[in-house]
Structure formats: C-alpha cells, structure tokens
A = this chain, B = another copy of it.
Amino acid sequence: MTKGGTKEALGRAGRSGIDLTAAPAPNPLGTSNPCAACSVRDLSLCGALSEAELSRLEKIVTRLTVEPHAPIIDESEPARYLFNLTGGVVKLYKLLPDGRRQITGFLYEGDFLGIAMNDTYAYSAEAVNQVSLCRFPRSDLEKLLDEFPHLEKRLLGMASNELVQAQDQMVLLGRKTAKEKVCSFLLLLSRRASERGADGSAIHLAMSRADIGDYLGLTTETVSRTFTTLKSNGVIQLREAGVVVLPDLEQLEELAEGT
C-alpha cells in the first residue's frame, strides 16, 4: 500500500451532534412560510417552486443544525432522507477498507445532499463547521416530484451539473500535479464565492489541511508544503483564520492547468 490518505478512525464526533430543537429558520423573518424567505432558495432545488408549491414543501421539511465534525449521513445506510444545505460546509467522502479516505466534494449553502443508489446512500457526509439543513423524507419528496415535473427537471439539471464537476475532478485527480491541484482548488472556492456574490479574490478555508489533501488525492504534508511554496512565490497570501488572498486570479488559472 501507499498513496497517503487519512487513516485515523475518524475519531470523536461529539455524540450525535444533531440538534432538532433549536433549529432556526434559515432566514428568520416573521413570515408564516420560512421557505418563501429562504436566502438560498434561488441557489437550490426550491428555486423551481412557486409560493403556493413551497407551502407543500414546507409541510414535509424539518430544519436542523449539525455541530462541526458530526456525521450527517453514513454510507451504506438506508437512504431515508434527502437534505438541502442552508448554511455551513459539508464534506462528502468514501472510505477504503484500510481507512484511506477520498473526499468527493464539499457542499455549500444551496447544495443538495443525498444521492442514493438502490435506496442506500452512496457516501458518507459530515459537517465541516456548524451546518444548517432542511431535511425531507425521501418518500414524501418523491411524491412531490411526481406532482411537480419542473421540480424533477430542476433536480435533473442539478445532477447534470454535479456530473460535469465530477468529471473535472477526475481530470484533477488523474492528471494534475500537486501544485496544479492546489491552485485548482483555490480557484474552485474563489468561483464559488463569486457565484454567491462575495469577493472572489479572498476566500475562507473552512476545512483542515487533511481534508484538502483527501479531496485532492494528496497528503496533509504535501498540501502544506504547496501552500508554503505558493506563498513565497507571491501567488497567495495566508491570513489568519483560514483566509487566503488571491491577488492574481489569471495567474492562478494558468497554474491550475499547467500552462
């Protein structure tokens, strides 16, 4: 065996870490239908629905919050629920029998969670920081899909996008060097920030070096070394609390593709 990968037993993840009681509405206005006022509605599945339809959704949703490092779903567990992420960051991952881990994606607000295969989750999901979710029973949501074909269309569109992203990630994992991988990752976060109206030239890394490594197919040490090199070359600046400044996005794009 070789090829890095976190091999710890995924350690302490604070009891269940899931809190149903104190879950606030994503955008707590005084409305009777929090979905209508949801700040991530347009980013997400629910953007396909009218206000009237939203009230149907409202009836089957449970809002909850999850503490950092707490599990959300577990691979091979029956897929009873689907989730919509309304705040925080979630990592999806798969494990090999000996503990090597591959993170297949980081989810942000508006992202959808719960793709299943034969009614069983295809991966595990864990909160990176404090996370807010909308949870739907799968059977109920499927009924809604039958009623609202445009909801199904939206879901198909989201799945297609994920597929395209997955293919980009395969190129990264199979053919890019460590430096190209790290630069691609920084660019991904930058673009994600821009899409959400933030400044793309400074990003926040919510996840650890180990998580980044398991996402890029590298070890923690290689990620750290690559950051150091990029910093001393002036490509990035490392600030406090996981903030990374990207002074030259065009240069970063070139470094991400090896040109």
Knowing A149-B146, A152-B149, A258-B1, say if A116 contacts B160 (CB, 8 Å).
yes
Provide the bound-state CA to CA distance between A78 and B56, in Å. Answer: 37
A1 to chain B, nearest CB (A): 5
Given known A-B contacts A153-B152, A163-B115, A176-B3, A171 and B258 have beta carbons under 8 A apart: no
Interfacial chain B residues near A4, Cβ < 8 Å: 175
Listed stretches A8-16, A61-69, A96-104; interface member: A96-104
Q: Which of these, B3, B156, B166, B173, contacts A155 with CB under 8 Å?
A: B156
For the complex, is A135 an interface residue (Cβ under 8 Å from B)? no
Digitize A105-135: 1 where CB-to-B-CB distance is under 8 Å, 0 elsewhere.
0000000000111000011000000000000
Is A205's CB within 8 Å of the partner chain B?
Answer: no
By a CB distance below 8 angstroms, the chain B residues around A102 are 170-171, 174-175
Once the chains are docked, how many angstroms separate the CA of A2 from the CA of B176? 8
Q: Bound complex: CA of A170 vs CA of B168, how far in Å?
A: 10
Q: Are A115 and B164 in contact (CB under 8 A)?
A: yes
Q: Which of B1, B167, B177 contacts A2 (CB 8 A)?
A: B177
Q: Report the bound CA distance from A131 to B200 in whole Å.
A: 44
The answer to whether B167 and A217 have CB atoms under 8 Å apart is no
